[in-house]
Amino acid sequence: VKENLYPEHDLFIQSMKLKNTLRYLMGEEQITHFGLDYYMSEEEGGI
């Protein structure tokens, strides 16, 4: 593991990161809870 990084032992987080990596490699939009769309209401174009 690189310096300032830590190994991730949570299998659910590993699964989420793997799925997002595969989505990135396929050119798909990644699933994340970060960004403005997470905080916007449906009327404003959010979730």
pTM exceeds 0.85: no
For residue 31, give the nearest of 42, 18, 40 by alpha carbon. Answer: 18
| Residue 3 pLDDT > 90 | no
The reply to whether 38 falls in a domain is: yes
The reply to whether 6 falls in a domain is: no
The reply to whether 5 falls in a domain is: no
* pLDDT at site 46: 46
Domain that holds residue 25: 11-44
d(CA 8, CA 15): 11
The reply to whether 15 falls in a domain is: yes
Domains identified in the chain, total number = 1
The reply to whether 23 falls in a domain is: yes
The reply to whether 2 falls in a domain is: no
The reply to whether 1 falls in a domain is: no
| Residue 44 pLDDT > 60 | no
8 phi and psi angles, rounded to 5 deg: -100, 120
